[in-house]
Amino acid sequence: MKFTKMQGAGNDYVYVNCFDEQVADPQQLAIQVSNRNFGIGSDGLILIMPSQLADVRMRMFNSDGSESEMCGNGIRCVAKYAYDHGIVTKTEISAETGAGILTLQLFPGADGKIAKVRVKMGAPRLTRAEIPMTGDPAAQVVAEELTVLDRTFRITCASMGNPHCVIFVEDVATFPVATYGPLIENNPLFPRRTNVEFVQILSRTEARQRTWERGAGETLACGTGSSAVTAACVLNGLTEKRILNHLSGGDLEMEWSDDGSIYMTGPAVEVFSGEILL
């Protein structure tokens, strides 16, 4: 099977062009290719597929084989692949995802290939029913207390097509993400589990984020997570609506626009291509 390894802000996936290739069991393939010792090595698997509703379709599988609705860093790489490999020829495209159809603006670099992508991520979904969370379906979760082990956090939750729990901390660099991340991911509050973002506010226009991704563990970046963080920062009165978010793998430009949508701009990089024996 032919594949391409790509990364957006260090969030790396194995991409398969399903215009040409067939994948019979994507869950098992995701586990196989993601293994960094015995496979290709990645945070998961992304399939680039034909769509009857948009220019391309993305399906995304975590490294544990579970399917996720959406991946912000992944969708930028899908757009880059589609343009650079001739699937599309325009610089504004639509992409079908498990979270709906998204609009993407593509920015070519000096070599004519796509260097960065701006994604209209849509409006954050803020009720417990939409996230989803247990409790009053119509209620929002902003600075709500959650006790885990020896700590009580104030959580703010949102869905960007997939669930996110945002927690503000004083020093994100030293925070024990691997301790609290999986416990919050699997907390009974979240019937579909959740991604968890630990965030340090640097100024009214800057934040720093570390992410514990549902089904993958800590990753270098999470685009839907960065979108949820942008919403959480504003809802808690901590930042302006436009911020620069520093993730472990790179920076994302974020904006919660007056049209209600969150926009994310960031890099997309093709690392290498190859073939794997299955």
- The one catalytic residue in 71, 77, 165, 233 is 71
The structural domains of the chain, with segments of one domain joined by +, span: 2-120+266-275, 144-260
Domain 2-120+266-275 shares a fold with domain 144-260? yes
Residues 135-142: what's their mean pLDDT?
98
Amino acid letter for position 93: I
- Cβ-proximal residues to 180 (8 Å cutoff; 6+ apart), any chain: 148, 149, 151, 153, 196, 198, 212
Residues 155-160: what's their mean pLDDT?
98
pTM of the model: 0.94
CATH 3.90.330.10 is the classification of domain 144-260: no
How many CB atoms neighbour CB 191 within 10 A? Answer: 11
pLDDT band at 71 (very low <50, low <70, confident <90, very high): very high
pLDDT band at 165 (very low <50, low <70, confident <90, very high): very high
- The one catalytic residue in 77, 157, 222, 233 is 222
Distance CA 265, CA 251 (A): 9
Q: Residue with structure tokens 């942008």? A: 230
Residues 70-97: what's their mean pLDDT?
98
pLDDT band at 117 (very low <50, low <70, confident <90, very high): very high
Quote the tokens at residue 39: 């496979």
Residues 82-108: what's their mean pLDDT?
98
Which pLDDT score is estimated for 97? Answer: 97
* Fold of the domain built from segment(s) 2-120+266-275: Diaminopimelate Epimerase; Chain A, domain 1 (3.10.310)
Which pLDDT score is estimated for 196? Answer: 98
Distance CA 58, CA 223 (A): 15
Which pLDDT score is estimated for 126? Answer: 98
71 is catalytic: yes
pLDDT band at 244 (very low <50, low <70, confident <90, very high): very high
Mean confidence (pLDDT) of the chain: 97
Which pLDDT score is estimated for 70? Answer: 95
222 is catalytic: yes
Distance CA 32, CA 63 (A): 8
- Cβ-proximal residues to 218 (8 Å cutoff; 6+ apart), any chain: 177, 178, 181, 210, 211, 212
Mind listing the pLDDT tens digit for each residue in 172-231?
999 999 999 999 999 999 999 999 999 999 999 999 999 999 999 999 999 999 999 999
